[in-house]
Amino acid sequence: MKAILVGPDRGLGDALSERGVSVERIDLGSAAELESAGVADADILALTDVGEATAVSVALELNDRLKTVVYSPDTIPEFVRGQLDLALDTELLDADLVAEELVAGVEA
């Protein structure tokens, strides 16, 4: 299983790694960076910086099978909300629980 994490870790990358997920971390969600990170064969796109919300649209154009999640305390831009599978607040759910749910959801 492979995940691409866009933005600061917020503990999610480590939590996914602990569950056997290969995590590629990138800071910016440009098409070139998503492609070189391997988005075409990724299972999960986790966005932790809502300022990079366009990464969701770009990634889904490259891989429409992605499970998309935002894990951030910040408000998600309206234009991306309909493209997300999950939007989770870091203040309400800890990274370990989120990682467990993501892995279970992809394996199902």
Return the number of other C-beta atoms located less than 10 Å from residue 102's C-beta: 26
Number of domains, the chain: 1
Separation CA 39–CA 100 (nearest Å): 21
Domain with 67 in it: what CATH number?
3.40.50.2300
Residue range(s) defining the domain that contains residue 81: 2-107
pLDDT at 93: 93
pLDDT tens, N- to C-terminus, the chain (108 residues): 999 999 999 999 999 999 999 999 998 767 889 999 999 999 999 999 999 999 999 999 999 999 999 999 999 999 999 999 999 999 999 999 999 999 987 876
pLDDT at 27: 83
